[in-house]
Structure 1
Amino acid sequence: MITVSGLRKTYGDVVAVRGVDLDVRDGEVFGLVGPNGAGKTTTLKTICGLVEPTAGDVRVAGYDATDPAMRHHLGFLPEESPLYEEMTPRSYLRFFADLYDVPRETADGRIAAALDRLDLDVRDRPVGDFSKGMKRKVAIARSLVNDPDVLVYDEPASGLDPVTTKTVVDFTRELAAEGKTVLFSAHDLYHVEAVCDRIAVMHDGRVAAKGTLDDIRGEYGSVEYRVALTRQLDGAESVGDHYELTVESMDKVEALRERVQGVGGEVVDIRTRESSLEDLFLAITGESKRAAEERTRVERGEHELEG
């Protein structure tokens, strides 16, 4: 549904995107992640026809991204999405439906359905009175008034409280279940890991890795086994009424089993820990742990969030 081949975008001497290739399939949720300045937003805006590529080919729903007809098949949610704050959600969304020539009765049905699913009950008060989370829900509903095949969301849950974030994340998965193609970027890697079918990690304007989480974990990640023993072995840590050791393979687990049996003990538990998307992100981009912690702190916000 979305194909990007050899995408390059420069601004003067600055190269924002350099040779990006992507394919996003019908009915798929595809996540685009990477540190600030990696080229994610430029890539998304080029896919939406808002930025003209310097080189490369971008197609959406069978249309060239620069073809105005493509926009009837696309819903776009930018990271910053100012609204007409003097309008109510209902009048605002009707206005955008009129831009797409959606009949009033059809538009009203779509608007009501979207706002119902997003748990936004307030529909006839000015949007300017709304919290950030409520405004974000209106903006998401706006992306759906033309019933698009493809949705491109840039940081859809940025700065939202946990309840609103969960609503947005669950809604994203519902859209894909209905057959819509969803491409989105996000800094919160936990939600990307939870909802995406496939992922691309961008770094320095390039796609550094892409595939399913298992694909990327197989190339960049690791698996650890935390083994609980009833008897002490060299290097084992005392934990309550047992001892624990961490090893990197099942062969080493079996070796531990033989060792502990040799001293009259046994293995009573084995817990597996695979690399999280956060671990993989750091391995791929080379971002330091301290920088990642600071990035996470800033992006999740150690401040009061609105719902």
Structure 2
Amino acid sequence: MIEARDLRKEYGDFAAVEGSTFAVDAGEVFGIIGPNGAGKTTTLKMLAGLLEPTAGSATVAGYDAEDTEMRKRLGFLPEESPLYEEMTPLSYLRFFADLYDVPRSVADDRIDETLSELDLEHRTRQLGDMSKGMKRKVAIARSLINDPDVLIYDEPASGLDPLTTNYIIQFTERLAEEGKTIVFSAHNLFHVESICDRVAIMNEGEIVAKGDLDALQREYGDTEYHVYTTVEVPDSVRENGQYRRVVESMDAVESVREAAEAAGGEVADIRTEESSLEEVFLNVAESGRRRSEA
């Protein structure tokens, strides 16, 4: 559904994106993460046809990203999305429906359904009198007015309160369940971890790692085993009436079991804890820093 090949964007002598290559399957949720200035927004704008690549190519829904026909299949949400503040949500969304040649009856049904799902009640209030969260919901509704196959969202919950943020993330999940192909960036890695099938990690204009979360965790993360015993074993700490020791391999787990049995006890529980996406990201960034300094 989306394919980027050796995407590069230069501004003078500065390369904002360097040779990015990735593909997103139909119905997949693909996250692009990285620090500020990593090249995330530039990449998304090239996919959306808003920036012309210096080199490389991108296709979306079978069209070249710069083909105007592609826009009919795409819903794009920029990080900053100013609205026409003198309009109401209804007039604003009807205006964009007209731009996409969506029949009024179809548009009104689609607007009503989308705003209901987004829990936006104030449909005749001027946009200038609305909160940032309400405006963001209207901007999301605008991205759906043409019933696109592909959604490209740049920080969809940027700067919103936690309640609105969670609501928008849940709405994005529902869009994925409906079969939409979604590419989005986000600073909150917990949200990326909860919704994405795969992620690409960018740093200084390059994709430094990509894959599904399990694969990234195996390559860049750490796994710890918290072994709870009924008796004290070496290097354990007392916790809630038991003893806990943290080890990093199944061989070490077996050694703890043997030590517990030798002391007249047993293993009561074993809990596995893996690195979060944030920890994986930090490990990837640190690995890249070491390579650049070598």
TM beyond 0.5: yes
Partner of 2:16: 16
Q: Secondary structure at the match of 1:31?
A: strand
Q: Shift in Å at residue 267 of structure 1?
A: 1.0
Give, in whole Å, the separation in 2 of the partners of 1:215 and 1:227: 25
Q: Secondary structure at the match of 1:38?
A: coil
Listed as ranges, the matches of 1:94-173 within 5 Å are 94-173=94-173
Q: Shift in Å at residue 240 of structure 1?
A: 3.2
> What amino acid does structure 1 have at the position aligned with 2:269?
D
Q: Secondary structure at the match of 1:72?
A: helix
Listed as ranges, the matches of 1:227-246 within 5 Å are 227-246=227-246
Partner of 2:86: 86
Moved more, 85-94 or 246-255: 246-255
Listed as ranges, the matches of 1:263-282 within 5 Å are 263-282=263-282
Partner of 2:209: 209
> What amino acid does structure 2 have at the position aligned with 1:108?
D
Q: Secondary structure at the match of 1:26?
A: coil
> What amino acid does structure 2 have at the position aligned with 1:46?
M
What percent identity do the matched residue pairs reach?
A: 62
Deviations 1:202-251 (A, max 9, x none): 11111111111001111111110011112222211122322111000111
Q: Shift in Å at residue 174 of structure 1?
A: 1.2
Give, in whole Å, the separation in 2 of the partners of 1:181 and 1:230: 50
Q: Secondary structure at the match of 1:75?
A: strand
Give, in whole Å, the separation in 1 of the partners of 2:249 and 2:29: 32
TM-score (norm 2): 0.96
Gaps in structure 1 of 5+ consecutive residues:
288-307
> What amino acid does structure 2 have at the position aligned with 1:10?
E
> What amino acid does structure 2 have at the position aligned with 1:161?
D
Deviations 1:57-87 (A, max 9, x none): 1000100011111101100000000000110
Q: Shift in Å at residue 286 of structure 1?
A: 1.9
Give, in whole Å, the separation in 2 of the partners of 1:271 and 1:177: 31
The answer to whether 1:177 aligns with 2:171 is no
Q: Secondary structure at the match of 1:6?
A: strand
Give, in whole Å, the separation in 1 of the partners of 2:219 and 2:111: 44
> What amino acid does structure 2 have at the position aligned with 1:72?
K
Q: Secondary structure at the match of 1:194?
A: helix
Partner of 1:297: none
Deviations 1:68-111 (A, max 9, x none): 11101100000000000110000000001111111111111111
Partner of 1:54: 54
Give, in whole Å, the separation in 1 of the partners of 2:189 and 2:56: 29
Give, in whole Å, the separation in 2 of the partners of 1:18 and 1:216: 21
Give, in whole Å, the separation in 2 of the partners of 1:230 and 1:257: 10
The answer to whether 1:249 aligns with 2:246 is no
Q: Secondary structure at the match of 1:123?
A: coil
Give, in whole Å, the separation in 1 of the partners of 2:216 and 2:123: 43
> What amino acid does structure 2 have at the position aligned with 1:126?
Q
Give, in whole Å, the separation in 2 of the partners of 1:239 and 1:42: 49
Q: Shift in Å at residue 182 of structure 1?
A: 0.5
Partner of 2:200: 200
Gaps in structure 2 of 5+ consecutive residues:
288-294
> What amino acid does structure 2 have at the position aligned with 1:137?
K
The answer to whether 1:5 aligns with 2:20 is no
Give, in whole Å, the separation in 2 of the partners of 1:238 and 1:179: 49
Listed as ranges, the matches of 1:18-33 within 5 Å are 18-33=18-33
Give, in whole Å, the separation in 1 of the partners of 2:40 and 2:49: 14
Moved more, 227-236 or 13-22: 227-236
Partner of 1:302: none
Q: Secondary structure at the match of 1:286?
A: helix
> What amino acid does structure 2 have at the position aligned with 1:92?
Y
- State the superposition RMSD in angstroms: 1.0
Q: Shift in Å at residue 161 of structure 1?
A: 1.5
The answer to whether 1:191 aligns with 2:191 is yes
Q: How many residues align?
A: 287
Q: Shift in Å at residue 268 of structure 1?
A: 1.0
Give, in whole Å, the separation in 2 of the partners of 1:143 and 1:101: 14
